[in-house]
Amino acid sequence: MSAVTMAKSRESYRKIKSILISQPKPERSPYFDIEERWGIKIDWRPFIHVEAVTEKEFRKNRLRPDDFSAIIFTSKNSIEHFFRMCEEMRVKMSQQTKYFCLTEAIANYLQKFIVYRKRKVFVGVRKIEDLETAFKKHKDKEKFLLPCSNLGAKDVVKYLDENDFDYKEAMMYRTVSSDLSDLKDITYDCLVFFSPLGIQSLYDNFPEFKQNKTRLAVFGTSTTKAVEEKGLTVNIKAPAPESPSMSMAITNYLNKSNK
C-alpha cells in the first residue's frame, strides 16, 4: 500500500466522538450499547414531522369519508389522520366499511379505532399487490378511499390506476421539515439519515451546509441518491452484506476509526 493510499485510508476513518441520528429517540435501541461501549455522544433529533391537514382545508376537496365503502391504509399515520378527520367532520363510518392494510402492524394499529373483524379487515405483508386476492373479491363492489400525505403513495396509486379501481386520494396530513435552527452552532462528527426527506430538511434548515470532515451515515438507495445529488460523500452505508442494519454499519466503522 502506497503512502498516499494509507493517508487516504486514515483520513476516511477519522475518530468519531459524536453522532446525531435524524430520528426521535426510542425507548430501546442498539445505539445505546454503541454509545456505552465506545464512550461517544449520541443525540437524537427528528429532521421531519407530520402536520395535520385541517378540516376546513380538507372540505375544499368536496370529499366525505363516509361516501366510501372501503379504505386503504398505508401507514399508522394514515389511520390516525383518517379517524381524526372523521371526528372533526362528525362523520361516523358504517359498520360495513372494509379496511385494506398494507401490513400486519398497520392492521394491528387499526384495532385502536374500530371493532376488529376479520371479515372487514384485509391484511398484506408489505406491498399493495399482497392484497390482490381480497381486492379481486371486492373491487367491483366497493368505492375506495386512500388517505395519504402530501408525498402521496405512488406504488399504491399506480396499482389502483392500472387495475381500474373506483377510488380517490385524500391528503389528510403532511410530512414537513422540522425547525433545526437551534443546531446552527453545534457540530457532530457523524450525521445519520434514513430517508431523502432528512436530507431535504438538512438543506431547508442550512442551505449553505458543507460536509467538510463530517461523516454521513446513510440507509437505503434512495437516501444515498439524495446525498450524492447534493454533492456529498457517503461514508457509512447500510444495508450491505456485512452490515444489514445501520447500527451494525456504524459499529463496523467504529471498529476501524475508534480502535
| Domains of the chain, earliest start first | 15-47+180-257 (3.40.50.10090), 50-176 (3.40.50.10090)
* Exposure class string for 160-178: b at 16+ Cβ within 10 A, else e: beeeebebebbbbbeebbe
The model's pTM is 0.79
- Output the nine-digit C-alpha cell for 29: 435501541
Specify the residue for cell string 459499529.
Answer: 251
What pLDDT is attached to residue 119? 74
pLDDT for 34-50, tens place per residue? Answer: 999 999 999 999 999 99
Q: What is the mean pLDDT of residues 165-182?
A: 96
